[in-house]
Amino acid sequence: MKKSFDDIVPKANHKKGIRSIPVPSHYEDTESVSDVAQGGHVHTEIRHEQTHTEPVHKRAPQTNHHNHSEVDEDEESDDEEVVEHHPHHAKQGSGFALSKKQLIIAGSAIGIVALGLLVANAFEQATLIVTPKTASIAVNGEFQGNKSASALEVPFEVVTLTDTENVVVRSNGEKQVEEKASGKIAIFNAQSTAPQKLIANTRFEDSDGLIFRIKDSVTVPGKTTKGPGRVDVTVYADQIGNKYNIGLSDFTIPGFKGDPRYKTFYGRSVTAMVGGFSGVQKMVSDEDKAKADSDMKAALSTRLLKSVQSKVPSGYVLFDKALRIDYKELPSENLDAGQVRLTYQADLSAAVFKTSVLSSYLARQYLSPSEYAGEAIEIKNMTDLKVEPVDSNFKPLSGSGKFSVSGTAQFVWVFDGVSIKQSLLGKNKDTFSSIIAGYKTIERADLRLSPFWKSNFPKTLEDITIENTVSNKD
């Protein structure tokens, strides 16, 4: 007798769908049963006449002797669904699993970290914070300065500047004027390393035979590996008149004719020769003249003192009192309408000292042998010291002079930064202390490596920087 499934109609007040439909026992072993074993996996499949894409909740399969199909029906919908369940697959997937998106994110994160490490290593850097030895010592004494200094003297160089100023005033009569031209020349000694003294009134002759003389004796330094010895002086025309107002020229020393020095001692113009005059000039009152002189000198002094600082060579120091300004009145110029132009020329000469040489000299004088053994050293506050000529009439162009010095000198030992970097290249950071200990001019040194996990110094000088704690302080 053929059997069939009967529909079960739920009660009207039943809110949930039918959960189970028992299957007669003689149908249990037939292939019409909804559970079919395939390849070790159990597939439970229920087919409906209609398909619906909305997901439904899955229930775990029953484990009793009979295989039952479970059907969930939503009382709100008559749509039929196909539900597929893989018990074996669900068991395998019960552990942690990453989606494709998660794998991509994880891979990107690892790549970013790896790239960061590569970039950090590519930009490795070592910074040394170095504190050099220092000493603060009171100094008070004198020293001898000279353009061609010996071991017991301090050498200096001479910086020169020239400027002119004029003013127009009302004339007050006329007068006969007789003036000699003058100007500045440099005297060179290419003869030997020995200095040469030239006596007062030594003659210098230009190519046209015009003679100029020095008023005071002067010593010309001997030549060096850098070139001939040199000293700058003012010379005056041998005769009165504007004939000697000449431009830049070269000069020989007639007194050396017939001597090898005639070719190895010579002069060369630093400024033009001006001021030569012979004739009638308009006069000005003493009051107007005095005021004009004062105004012009003040203007010249201000400009020259401001300009000379820019002329001091790098590594040299100029002290306020170690200079001299000489003023010279040039011939006046007669103008129309009863006026006259007055002109002044100012010549500044200054002795400038090389900072490292003066620092070393004072260190030898005021530091004990146990403190200073000739290492490179500098006085950080050099311009705070009071250094001035003992002779108030000091003339830098003379090439020598005695100076007094007083104040508190802040000595700072100088270390060789390039040498330190080279000694550290590629070395393990554990060797840092022993290497720095070999530099006696260093009081303390600290190390900062980047990135932090690096244990060795970089292999290129550019990747090692040095910060000097003393030079960074005001």
Handedness of CA 104, 106, 107, 111 (dihedral sign): positive
Q: Spell 205-230 as b/e; 16+ CB within 10 A means b.
A: bbeeebbbebeeebbbbbbeeeebbb
CB 268 within 8 A of CB 250: yes
Nearest CA to 143 out of 127, 155, 154 is that of 154
Residue pLDDT, tens place only, 95-133? 556 677 777 776 776 766 665 555 545 568 999 999 999
Q: Which two tokens stand for residue 169?
A: 């005033």
Q: Which two tokens stand for residue 150?
A: 């010996």
Nearest CA to 386 out of 321, 315, 316, 313 is that of 321
- CA dist 365 to 36, 70, 141, 142, 206, Å? 111, 110, 10, 10, 47
DSSP strand pairing (154-170 vs 134-146): parallel
**What type of residue sits at position 274?**
V
- The answer to pTM > 0.75 is no
Alpha-carbon distance 348 to 323, whole Å? 7
Q: Angle 295-301-307 (CA atoms, 0-180°, nearest 5)?
A: 135
pLDDT at 110: 74
Q: What is the 3-state secondary structure (H, E, C) of the chain?
A: CCCCCCCCCCCCCCCCCCCCCCCCHHHCCCCCCCEEEECCEEEEECCCCCCCCCCCCCCCCCCCCCCCCCCCCCCCCCCCCCCEECHHHHHHCCCCCCCHHHHHHHHHHHHHHHHHHHHHHHCCEEEEEEEECEEEEEEEEEEEEECCCCCCCEEEEEEEEEEEEEEEEECCCEEEEEEEEEEEEEEEECCCCCCEEECCCCEEECCCCCEEEECCCEEECCCECCECEEEEEEEEEEEECHHHCCCCCEEECHHHCCCCHHHHEEEEECCCCECCEEEEEECCCHHHHHHHHHHHHHHHHHHHHHHHHHHCCCCEEEEEEEEEEEEEEEEEEECCCCEEEEEEEEEEEEEEEEHHHHHHHHHHHHCCCCCCCCCCEEECCHHHCEEEECCCCCCHHHCEEEEEEEEEEEEEECCCHHHHHHHHCCCEHHHHHHHHCCCCCEEEEEEEEECCCCCECCCCHHHEEEEECCCCCC
Residues 6+ apart with CB under 8 A from 211: 203, 204, 205, 237, 238, 239, 254
Task: For the beta carbon of residue 343, count every other beta carbon within 10 angstroms.
Answer: 18
Residue pLDDT, tens place only, 49-79? 444 444 444 444 444 444 444 444 444 444 4
pLDDT at 431: 94
Alpha-carbon distance 370 to 363, whole Å? 12
Q: Which two tokens stand for residue 101?
A: 């998106």
pLDDT at 114: 60
Half-sphere exposure of 47 (CA within 13 A, CB side): 5
Rg (CA), the chain: 51
Nearest CA to 446 out of 471, 427, 466 is that of 466
Nearest CA to 164 out of 299, 305, 307 is that of 299
CB 379 within 8 A of CB 119: no
pLDDT at 280: 86
CB 144 within 8 A of CB 152: yes
Residue numbers of the chain with a pLDDT score lower than 70: 1-98, 106, 109, 111-123, 149, 151, 472-474
